[in-house]
């Protein structure tokens, strides 16, 4: 049922196992835990909205920074809003673009009033305030908007992390004051680097303001994985039980399983589609590099246990041929498979939680990969870098 405003219903919670919930928005609902495919510029690379619907995607992520620069907010608004512009009628979350300004713009200047930067597209100078970022997202028509935040890469000193967290809190307050449309949700973002004290302080200050949901930002930016999990788990534990918890930008299957156990409800990552474009495919037995010569005459599907369009219709040999030939179809078929895998994983996690079988599910998940310690496996070895 579509219509109405934003709401979150916590359906079940088992400490140390995970949470089941339901997000409702004016453009429909999404079950949680949920994974959001990333369509930064209004498109999940190589895929159409019909592909995403078929694989079970319920909510997508777009980026206000990218859409503000190109094609421009006024263009999207004139066409009828972001949903109509990109042909997606389900829920949409827009990231504010704080991280993209940091990572893409060689020249940027952060101050109390906002951030001045040069576009990575044409070098033009722009100045974004917290209020303007909210207005951009309101004009785009996002169901869930993110506040502008100050995100620093690792390593960052205590004093720098403290200043960034305080600025993010200041901007969050201004963002909340600028919000003018009740049907659109606004999420605060917890910052504080790798420092538990700063994270707790940031979370409590945001909670006092009262946001529709809370995101854990500024992680997986270079720190050790153990540190990432430690800070994410601590932060999730202090966030409100009855609000959405969103872990930003983390997305290996192992990351998602760990995040679910922490009580996180929403995830996003470019990993499935980025890996698809480099020939790395996710399967029930680990990751597979389709470029490998061993697949040149392989008549098997990518994953015998997968029911995606790619696995139902094509062999590893054909997919390898397409990829090595740089045929555009390779990127599409690989992306269909990887995102189908991710959404199947989320459905299986939700089912395991509903049946109180999370421990059994995780044992089977890791045993299929030939290990039980949560590290990445497969023929490539080590971390997945796509």
What is 212-271 written as a DSSP string?
A: SEEEE-S-SSSS-HHHHHHHHHHHHHHS-TTSEEEETT--SHHHHHHHHHHT--EEE-SH
| Predicted TM-score (pTM) of this structure | 0.95
Task: Quick: pLDDT tens for 16-28.
Answer: 999 999 999 999 9
Which domain, by its residues, includes 264? Answer: 7-269
By the 8 A CB rule, do 252 and 225 touch? no
Are residues 200 and 334 both part of a single domain? Answer: no
Catalytic residue among 51, 95, 143, 212: 95
> CA 51 from chain center: how many Å?
18
In a domain, 64, yes or no: yes
Q: If you write DSSP's letter for every residue of 32-96 in order, what string do you get? A: ESEEE-B-TTSS-TT--HHHHHHHT---EEEEHHHHHHTT-HHHHHHHT-HHHHHT--S-EEEE-
- Among 235, 269, 303, the domain-final residue is 269
If you average pLDDT over residues 150-165, what whole number do you get?
95
The residue out of 226, 245, 269 marking a domain boundary is 269
| Beta-bridge mates of residue 19 | 13
Shared-domain flag, residues 184 and 290: no
80 shares its domain with 46: yes
Pair 210, 78 in one domain? yes
Regarding whether 94 and 20 lie in a shared domain, the answer is yes
In a shared domain, residues 265 and 283: no
Total of domains in the chain: 2
What strands, in cross-sheet order, belong to the sheet with 114-118? 108-111, 114-118, 125-128
Q: What would the two tokens of residue 94 be?
A: 């827009």
384 located within any domain: no
pLDDT of residue 378: 40
95 catalytic per annotation: yes
Q: Are residues 188 and 299 in the same domain?
A: no
User: For residue 383, what pLDDT band results from cuts at 50, 70 and 90?
Assistant: very low
Strands 266-268 and 114-118: unpaired
* Residue in 51, 143, 255, 268 annotated catalytic: 268
Tens digits of per-residue pLDDT, 173-185?
Answer: 999 999 999 999 9
Q: Are 213 and 76 part of one and the same domain?
A: yes
Q: CATH number of the domain at 106, please.
A: 3.20.20.105
Mean pLDDT rounded to a whole number for the chain: 94
List phi, psi (to 5°) of 32: -125, 150
User: Do 88 and 205 have their domain in common?
Assistant: yes
Q: What is the pLDDT of residue 110?
A: 93
pLDDT in tens, 362-380: 999 999 987 533 333 344 4
Helix, strand, coil share of the chain (percent; to 5): 40, 20, 40
Burial class (CB in 10 A: 0-12, 13-18, 19+), 163: middle
Q: Are residues 110 and 247 in the same domain?
A: yes
**Known catalytic membership, residue 150:** no
Average pLDDT over every residue of 8-13 = 98
Paired tokens of 80: 């009828």
Q: What pLDDT is recorded for position 330?
A: 98
141, 289: one domain: no
Q: Pull the structure tokens for residue 213.
A: 């949901």
Q: Do both 93 and 201 map to the same domain?
A: yes
Q: What percent of the chain lies above the pLDDT cut of 90?
A: 90
């Amino acid at each position: 049922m579509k219509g109405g405003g934003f709401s979150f219903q916590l359906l079940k919670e088992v400490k140390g196992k995970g949470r089941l919930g339901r997000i409702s928005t004016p453009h429909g609902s999404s079950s949680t835990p949920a994974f959001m495919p990333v369509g930064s510029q209004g498109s999940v690379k190589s895929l159409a909205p019909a592909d995403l619907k078929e694989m079970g995607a319920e909510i997508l992520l777009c980026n206000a920074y990218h859409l503000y620069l190109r094609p421009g907010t006024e263009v999207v608004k004139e066409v009828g809003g972001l949903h109509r512009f990109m042909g997606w009628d389900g829920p949409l979350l827009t990231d504010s673009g704080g991280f993209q300004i940091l990572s893409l713009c060689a020249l940027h200047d952060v101050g109390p009033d906002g951030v001045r930067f040069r576009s990575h597209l044409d070098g033009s100078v722009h100045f974004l305030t917290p209020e303007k970022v909210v207005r951009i997202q309101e004009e785009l028509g996002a169901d869930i908007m993110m506040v502008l935040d100050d995100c620093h890469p690792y390593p960052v000193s205590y004093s720098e992390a403290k200043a960034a967290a305080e600025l993010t809190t200041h901007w969050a307050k201004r963002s909340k004051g600028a919000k003018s449309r009740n049907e659109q949700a606004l999420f605060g973002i917890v910052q504080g680097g790798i420092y538990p004290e700063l994270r707790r302080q940031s979370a409590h200050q945001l909670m006092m303001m009262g946001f529709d949901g809370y995101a854990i930002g500024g992680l997986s930016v270079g720190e050790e994985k153990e540190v990432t999990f430690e800070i994410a788990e601590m932060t999730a534990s202090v966030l409100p039980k009855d609000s959405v918890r969103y872990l930003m930008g983390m997305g290996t299957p192992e990351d998602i399983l760990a995040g679910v156990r922490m009580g996180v409800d929403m995830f996003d990552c470019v990993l499935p589609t980025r890996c698809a474009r480099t020939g790395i495919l996710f399967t029930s037995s680990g990751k597979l590099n389709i470029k490998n010569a061993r697949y040149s005459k392989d008549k098997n599907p990518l994953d015998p246990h997968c029911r995606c369009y790619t696995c139902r219709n094509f062999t590893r040999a054909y997919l390898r041929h397409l990829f090595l030939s740089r045929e555009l179809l390779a990127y599409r078929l690989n992306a269909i498979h990887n995102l189908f895998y991710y959404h199947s994983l989320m459905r299986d996690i939700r089912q395991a939680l509903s049946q109180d079988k999370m421990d059994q599910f995780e044992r089977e998940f890791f045993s299929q990969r030939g290990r039980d310690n949560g590290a990445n496996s497969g023929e490539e070895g080590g971390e997945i870098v796509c």
